[in-house]
Amino acid sequence: MRTITDMAGRTVELPDKINRIYAPSPYASTLLMSLCPEKLCGLFFPIEEHQKPFFNSCLLNLPVIGKITEFEAIKEAKPEVILIWGDKSNPIHPKSEKAMAELGIPHIYACCDELVDLRDYPAIYRFLGQVLGIEERAEKFAVYCEETLNEVAELVNSVHPQHRPRVYYAEGKDGTQTEYSHSLHAHLLNLIGDVNIHRGTLVGHPGMEQLTEGQLLAYDPEVIIVWLKEAYERITKKDEIATPLQSSALQPPQSLRDSSPTIRGGASGVGEQSEVASCEAVGWEKISAVKNNRVYQIPVEPFSYFDRPPCFMRLLGLKWLLSICYPEIYKKNFEQEKAEFLKLFFEMED
């Protein structure tokens, strides 16, 4: 046995070598699916058919354990440690602590600001590398994070705030829901220059604030990124995705769509509230992004590049966003960047 200090500052006794780990959250589970698939002993949600080519075959027959309170399923999976994902400002989860006490299995915390800040991922990768005995692989991931974040910051800082694009994140089946500028669901828009047109602060976790047609027309975004295929088709009046950069017509995994908030009014944030917009009434064709063919469906293979779940795929999402928001400056070949990412994080060759 050995003693380690986790990212919440807790002292934990762990086996010298860990071969089995489970994570009861989408943040941690998705990260482990890429970092150390051979050590995972259970999934937080099922792997859908279109996702299977991305993942190590050892993951495909694992049990799906979607709650930390599924005690019998967790015990049957026999994890040697459980990874809890915590907020840096308040990392300890009382409910998780209660469940862990009942399970009697060692647990560790990986901590990330507001649960989603990619700037904390290098430290998380290095911490897990040490805990799991995979320092070399974890270091490669950490370095990729740092290089990507530095690249983004350098490009964004070269553009005056007044010259950065106004971006709208279209959620829901009709595209009239969105996220506040200070929301864990729209974190990437802050990193690429604080370009989210819907200003305000999310209170709580759900998000998906309802906008009116008047708000959308007044915002007149220059770029629209869209979560769901049906919303993309409604906004653009197109049946197919226009370019390779706009991803395939795949939807986010059904398990995530089912667990996401239903279409709702803006009751979870602090900012301008609105009445429900009629999806048929919105004059999308009047909006600059639509008129200039700058509407893009967010890629989702194997997970969303942007949100739901907000996972490590957002590192590639940053590069995708640079390619569509700053095409005059970002000169790299995105498809090549994507291939390099998949090779590193999924060991996929062209």
- Phi then psi for residue 211, to 5 deg, are -110, 160
Nearest to 211 by CA among 271, 254, 151: 271
| CATH superfamily, domain at 160-346 | Nitrogenase molybdenum iron protein domain (3.40.50.1980)
pLDDT in tens, 263-287: 223 333 444 434 444 445 589 999 9
- Could you please report the per-residue DSSP string of 172-210? SSSS-EE--SB-GGGHHHHHTTS-BSS-EEE-SS---EE
The mean per-residue pLDDT over the stretch 108-127 comes to: 97
Whether residue 241 is predicted with pLDDT greater than 70 in this model: the reply is no
The mean per-residue pLDDT over the stretch 63-77 comes to: 95
Distance CA 23, CA 43 (A): 8
Do 179 and 171 contact (CB within 8 A), yes or no? yes
3-class secondary-structure state, position 22:
strand
The pLDDT value recorded for residue 302 is: 96
Residue 325, both tokens: 């928001």
Q: Between residues 242 and 187, which one has the greater pLDDT?
A: 187
Nearest to 38 by CA among 13, 51, 57: 57
The pLDDT value recorded for residue 132 is: 98
Residues 118/119/121/123 CA torsion (nearest 10 deg)? -170
Sequence-separated (6 or more) residues with CB below 8 Å from residue 63: 42, 43, 73, 76, 77
Distance CA 270, CA 272 (A): 7
CA angle 145, 304, 237 (to 5 degrees): 135
The pLDDT value recorded for residue 243 is: 39
Mention the CATH class of domain 2-154.
alpha beta
What is this structure's pTM?
A: 0.88
Residue 84, both tokens: 């809890």
The mean per-residue pLDDT over the stretch 105-113 comes to: 97
Whether residue 76 is predicted with pLDDT greater than 90 in this model: the reply is yes
Q: Percentage of the chain with pLDDT > 90?
A: 82
Distance CA 190, CA 248 (A): 25
Q: Where in the chain is the domain with CATH 3.40.50.1980?
A: 2-154, 160-346
Enclosing H/E stretch for 14 = strand 11-14
Residue 70: burial class (beta carbons within 10 Å; 0-12, 13-18, 19+):
middle
The mean per-residue pLDDT over the stretch 228-244 comes to: 74
Distance CA 212, CA 334 (A): 34
Local confidence band at 1 (pLDDT 50, 70, 90 cut-offs): very high
Local confidence band at 24 (pLDDT 50, 70, 90 cut-offs): very high
pLDDT in tens, 128-182: 999 999 999 999 999 999 999 999 999 999 999 999 999 999 999 999 999 999 9
Query: Which ranges constitute the DSSP H helices of 241-325?
Result: 254-259, 288-291, 314-325
Peptide bond into 244 cis (omega under 30): no
Mean pLDDT estimate for the chain: 89
Local confidence band at 247 (pLDDT 50, 70, 90 cut-offs): very low
